[in-house]
Chain A
Amino acid sequence: MVNVSRWKLNLWICCLSAALLMLTVPLQSRAQDTAAGATLTQSQLAARIKELEQQLAKLAAAPAAATTAQQARPAAPQPQQQPPMQMPMPAATQGPLNPENTPPDSTDPQALLDRIKALEQRIKDLESSAVLSEPETRVKKVEVYVDKDGNLSDTPVEGAKKTTTFQRERVYRRQTINEKIEEALSSAAEHNVQVGVDAGIAFQYAKRTKGTAIVPDNRTYELASADLFFTAGVAQHTLFFADIVGLSGPPPDREIPTLSLINGYSARLVNQNELNLREAWLRTELFSQKLAITAGRLDLTNYFDHNIAANDETTQFLSDALVNNPALGLTENGAGAAIVFDPKNGFNFKIGLQQSNSAATSLSDSVYSLAEIGYFLRPPGLQEGNYRVWYRADNAGGAGYQTAYGVSIDQRLRPQMVFFGRYGASKAAVKRDHHYSGGFQFDHGLGFFPGDAWGVGYAQNDFQIGDKERLIEGYYRFGLTERLNLSFHVQHFWELSGGAPQQGYLVPGVRLQASF
């Protein structure tokens, strides 16, 4: 017994000495190094080992379940059930909980520290296999110096020329499998052609409210439209886009002789039940992405005469006079280009030209050109507003250049209310035709559901030859889901054509629109 006591005393003295020595190690290195355990007492070391063994047991549990039964060690004690390290234990054998085969009753501090290190390493290895820990590989642009013989240096060397190259960099970041999958999917989406669909179906009913019986009355119409979009990034800040559209069904515009289209979708209709390439263009952005150039088969109305409240027959007003300014006079898409300069400071400038008559034999015979200046304004007491002025010239008619100009305004008056207005004047045989429109849009929670919007609009088209049109439209759009909208529309048209009796039509309708 005396010998045992002396042994313990000697060992305690040794441990104390070692511990005091270790205390002289700077705090930082102690914290960084696992050897920080050396500052601990023997019981703390034992506790640490127990903690590590518990972690190890948890980590080993999953792989262990997958291993075969003979690999399992039924006799191996659970770490929670292990007695304190100072207590006598059965002779340890090498296994997942004791890979270095250290005697469990070892009281040698160095052995204990070694065991801690081994267990921590084991945990690290297990965590590495349980959680995705592949190195993250990134390719970076680096500047290097190359001499005439091709010798490369990272630092400037006499006779070497500075050049740019690319080099792989690896970092060991632990990621979850989810993160890695998300990255892969995102990367794949960026490099593949993306397909989008915008489909709309509009049911409309027309009732004559004024005029003679020679025009249709009490008729029902339906027009279904589907746009297929293809988008692909082909170079840095360069995008390819194509839009193929197919329409089917009789729109009201085939029967009812209004001056502007009752259903804005009809503007896309070339031939029923046929697919048409509406747009196919390349866009690139230059000068810190301030300048965007788009060239190909275009619809210039996508770039000019914007309006946030009245510019989209798929989600806003159906009447074509409340989608674009009739003074634009652009009836079909064609080859062309659009240049947009937008420094994101409130001003933007646009110019564009396009073939406006597909029957023309050269671009010189059918040049349609547009220029626009846009300004972001925040008048006192009001919210944000966009003000645009444009001018166009078109020689497609064969009678020289026909010109027109117009303005498009949208001004948010309140957080939930937008006023919009348009005016346009286009050159006519005598003087000019005039087009006016205006109205309000209500959104941002001013409806039954947060995603709903509704609007009322009025448009007036006065042609110098005597034709006149007045129309009003109201709609309510339910934002059923992010991708599905259901709208109810009511339109009324008053038509006065060349001294003929006034015609009036009431056109209620329903539109279902999906985009994804």
Chain B
Amino acid sequence: MHKSKRFIALSGLMLAALAMGAGLPGMLPAPATYAQQIKVQDPTSVVMIVNRDSNDISFMDIKTKKIIGRTFLGNNVNPHMVMMSPDGRYVVTGGTRANKAYIIDSRTLDLVKIIPTDIAPEHLAFSPDSRWYYQGNPDGDSISVIDMQSLTKIKTIPGFAEPLNITFTADGSKAYVGNYGAHWVGVIDVRRHELLKKIQVADVPGVAKLDPDRYLGEIKGINMAVPTVDGRFLYAADSDLNAVGVIDTRTDKVVKVIRVGKDPWRIYMSHDGKYGITLNNGDETISIIDLAKNEVAATLEAGPDMTGANFAAGKAFVISSSSGFVYVYNLGSLRPSGRIKLGTNVSLETATTDTADQKIYLAESTTNEVVIIDARTEAVERVGNVGLFPWGTHIMDSKDNYCH
């Protein structure tokens, strides 16, 4: 018995020695080996595509339009939104059905860490210094705070009501959380990772007493508080109240309430900082808000089930998910300028815009494609087999990174 144990021990030592000789560089990658593993040299050169049914993130090279890598996350993960950290080091996503956050090395595309979150993580945001990754958990009514230095969850901030999107201030001191299950925006003190206060964006009208089902049956509150280009104000659309509350980030007070169309999904900011557009799914219109005057400059006809708006080449492109159309608006004249038919019986999801404001990369979940729209010519190109059920796209430093 002793001899056999010694043999096992010696074998183990030999194997260990072998492993140290050949394997240690894999454990702590030496520069050369790490360089060999790198699949993405420049994080800004890829479009990230989050695929809900194939449970992976695919990476498409912007120049070649080829899928250069995929990171499988696990079975039944159901990733929802993908985002790259501002420093370009990591790509993260929340696995809605797995209740976990997934952290991917943005160069090697290796999955480096899986971190348990609260229930059903969906939308997320990074602090400007890339230190904190806030993961919203709509079903858990909480925000998971993940430290990107130690890659650990350091806190779960409770007290929200279906938190959807999170917005950090430019200095990273505060984060604003849109609560779809309420009519207020939560303000987080990022130094302490605590919910500081709640800002109600508009009053529930008095006639609500006559229509309790309208407000009690199902609540559709605030998707996101969207910052202006200079970060001074936040615009939070409330779907039930058909209004946009303008919040001064210095005082955290609502300075104006703007009435828009019915059931506004959220507001999207034009890149020049002049306009914000709400997608009013209740009456199939868009409201274009003049940000200087804080009033509606135009209400224009649009389509059903709008999921997002992108800005490029002086136009706004509004995605109408179930109709298969992208509606186009001229931002100079604030007039409609046609619509682009992308298919019949297809489901358009969300899109991102390249940093040059020239092309739009739109996820189309029915045919598992990313549709590339040239903003100037409105020509369409398709990249197939990007993954199963592509739900959204993301480009580092794009001004149109969002999810639905």
Mark A residues whose CB is within 8 Å of B.
6-7, 9-10, 13-14, 16-18, 20-21, 23-28, 31-32, 124, 127, 131, 133, 136, 138, 140, 171-174, 236, 288-289, 343-346, 376, 378, 383-384, 412, 415-416, 444-445, 449-451, 478-482, 484
Return the chain B residue nearest A133 by Cβ. B76
A31-B112, A481-B214 known; A344 vs B339 contact (CB < 8 Å)? yes
- Contact residues on B (Cβ < 8 Å of other chain), bracket: 35 or more
Known A28-B111, A383-B298; further 15 A-B contacts with Cβ < 8 A: A6-B2, A6-B5, A13-B13, A24-B23, A27-B105, A28-B108, A31-B112, A140-B367, A344-B339, A384-B300, A415-B295, A416-B259, A480-B207, A481-B211, A484-B211
User: Closest CB of chain A to B119's CB: distance in Å?
Assistant: 11
Name B207's contact: one of A344, A376, A481 (CB within 8 Å).
Answer: A481
Which residues of B (192-226) have their CB < 8 Å from a CB of A? 205-207, 210-211, 214
| Cross-chain contact B8 with A14 (CB below 8 angstroms) | yes
Most buried by B among A23, A28, A133, A138: A28
* A174/B336 in contact, CB under 8 A: no
Complex Cα spacing A263 to B320, Å: 39
Contact: A27 with B108, CB < 8 Å?
Answer: yes
The A/B interface has a contact count, at CB < 8 Å, of 156
Asked whether A171 lies within 8 Å of B388 as measured between CB atoms, the reply is yes
B344 to chain A, nearest CB (A): 7
- Listed from nearest, the 5 A-B pairs whose CB atoms lie closest are A24-B23, A17-B12, A481-B211, A20-B19, A31-B111
- Stretch in B145-153, B157-165, B306-314, B327-335 touching the partner: B327-335
Within 8 A of A (CB), among B14-39: 15-16, 18-20, 22-24, 26-27, 37
B95-126 contacts to A (CB < 8 Å): 97, 105, 108-114
Closest chain B residue, CB of each to CB of A236: B344
Distance to closest chain B CB from A237 (angstroms):
8
Closest beta carbon of chain A to B290's beta carbon, Å: 9
> Contacting B205 at CB < 8 Å: which of A25, A124, A450?
A450
Q: What's the minimum C-beta distance from B18 to chain A, rounded to whole angstroms?
A: 8
A172 to B75, CA, bound (A): 9
Q: Are A25 and B26 in contact (CB under 8 A)?
A: yes
Decide: A479 and B23 in contact? CB cutoff 8 A.
no
Residues of chain A within 8 A (CB-CB) of B341 are: 288-289
Q: Please, how many angstroms separate the alpha-carbon atoms of A136 and B97 in the complex?
A: 15
Contacts of B9 in A (CB 8 A): 9-10, 13-14
Q: Which residue of B lies closest to A443 (CB)?
A: B259
Q: Is the CB of A450 within 8 A of B243?
A: yes
Q: Return chain B residues, CB-CB under 8 Å to A13.
A: 8-9, 12-13, 16
Contact between B19 and A445 (Cβ–Cβ < 8 Å)? no
**Measured CA separation A482–B262 after assembly (Å):** 10
Q: With the chains together, A412 CA to B288 CA distance in Å?
A: 14
Contact between chains at B211 and A480 (CB < 8 Å):
yes
Set of chain B residues within 8 Å of A482, measured between Cβ atoms: 211, 214
A selection of 22 A-B contacts at a CB cut-off of 8 Å is A10-B5, A13-B9, A16-B16, A17-B15, A17-B19, A20-B19, A21-B19, A23-B24, A24-B22, A27-B111, A28-B71, A28-B108, A31-B110, A133-B76, A172-B76, A289-B341, A346-B335, A384-B299, A384-B334, A415-B297, A444-B259, A449-B206
Interface check B248, CB cutoff 8 A: no
Output the least CB separation between A446 and chain B (Å): 9
* Interchain CA distance A346-B329 in the complex, whole Å: 10
A343 to B378: give the CA distance in the assembly, Å.
15
**Contact between chains at A445 and B259 (CB < 8 Å):** yes
Is there an interface contact between A7 and B5, defined as CB atoms closer than 8 Å?
yes
Contact with A along B284-325 (1 / 0, CB 8 A): 000000000001111111000000000000000000000001
Q: What residue of chain B has the Cβ atom nearest to residue A27's Cβ?
A: B110
- When distances are taken between beta carbons in the complex, the residues of chain B under 8 Å from A480 are 207, 210-211
A173 in contact with B53 (CB, 8 Å):
yes
Please give, as numbers and ranges, the residues of chain B lying within 8 Å of A131 by CB-CB distance.
97
Q: How far is the CA of A131 from the CA of B78 in the complex (A)?
A: 13
A345: chain B residues within 8 A (beta carbon): 336-338
A415 contacts which chain B residues (CB < 8 A)? 259, 295-297
Contact across chains for A451 and B205 when beta carbons are under 8 A apart: yes
A176: min CB distance to chain B, Å: 9
Complexed CA–CA distance, A24 and B11 (Å):
17
Please determine whether B20 and A444 come into contact, CB atoms closer than 8 angstroms. no
Q: Which residues of B contact A10 (CB under 8 A)?
A: 5-6, 8-9, 12
**Closest B residue to A39 using CB positions:** B27
Using Cβ atoms and an 8 Å threshold, which residues of chain A touch B111? 27-28, 31-32
